[in-house]
Amino acid sequence: MGKHEGKKKNKNKNKNDADKVAEAAAPEERSSGGYAKELARLQEEVAHLQAWVKKTGARIVIVFEGRDAAGKGGVIRRLTERVSPRVFRVTALPAPTDREKSQIYMQRYIQHLPAAGEVVIFDRSWYNRPGVERVMGFCSEDSARRFLELAPRFEAAMVESGIVLLKYFLDVSEKEQERRFRQRIADPLRQWKLSPMDVESYRRWWDYTRAYNEMIRMTDTEYAPWWIVPSDDKKRARINCISHILASIPYERVKFIEPDLGKRQKRPNDFADDDHIRRTVPDVF
């Protein structure tokens, strides 16, 4: 084999290797591009939903429950990032205070239910009781079972009052949950997501499985059903869940009336620039 022939062969080999790399990367790139395009389309629809909610005075409650690290926060963030927080309110309650512990259990949640023209999203909800509280021993077994009996009645009252109630449970496999937990441990930007309760949920996988299975079985009703969102693929889960929310609410597009900006006022003849020294953030970028 001549010198030039060998170089040509190596060049062709390198080109073929590069083509293989490009082909392997292409599906992921197409997938990412398709995801971004579909998400943008759905977020535009969520904006139309917002306009309808404001015009009609609709009241909507969306409950997000699920396994730890299943991606609830990611779905909520994509659902709300292009709309007003005054219309789409996210409620993520901390541990109850001593005063709240002395109240009727549902009392701390009732005060967060929507008024006319509001969508309230519960990032975990009253279902803390048959979930984490039950598994971790923060409530008695009798209290948990009593909750499971009463919750459908509470939700029936909500629906009968005119509230649209949607309940989603994000599910993730053992293998994928562990991968996400280890990713959080290794990444300083994600370490804040790993709480002691997350670690316990990892150790008590089957305790939580039993608790969640009974919770869903006893509180899945025709008027307030549970919708399961398989979430090993986060992007797919986000698209599927937001699509289902939009399909579940009978909203209509509201015509946008363009405002007339009018004319900006002219600078007054007696206006003088302020000579006070102002502190300006220095450029670093």
Cβ pair 180, 69 in contact under 8 A: yes
pLDDT mean over 244-250: 98
pLDDT of res. 255: 95
- Cβ atoms of residues 159 and 61 within 8 Å: no
Note the pLDDT of residue 221: 98
**How many angstroms separate the CA atoms of 58 and 87, rounded?**
11
Rounded Cα–Cα distance for residues 158 and 156 (Å): 5
As a whole number of angstroms, the distance between CA 285 and CA 276 comes to 26
63 conformational bin, left if phi > 0, alpha if psi -120 to 50, beta if neither: beta
- Assess whether pLDDT exceeds 80 at residue 48: yes
Cβ distance 231 to 172 under 8 Å?
Answer: yes
* pLDDT confidence of residue 146: 97
pLDDT class for 50, splitting at 50, 70, 90?
A: very high
pLDDT above 60 (res 158): yes
Q: How confident is the model at residue 75 (pLDDT cuts 50, 70, 90)?
A: very high
pLDDT exceeds 90 at position 9:
no
| Confidence category of residue 1, pLDDT binned at 50, 70, 90 | low
What Rg value do the Cα atoms of the chain yield, rounded?
Answer: 26
Mean pLDDT score across all residues of the chain:
91
Query: Above 90 in pLDDT, residue 24?
Result: no
Model pLDDT, residue 33: 86
User: Does the pLDDT at position 65 exceed 90?
Assistant: yes
Mean pLDDT of all residues in 34-63: 98
pLDDT-derived band of residue 32, with 50, 70 and 90 as boundaries? confident
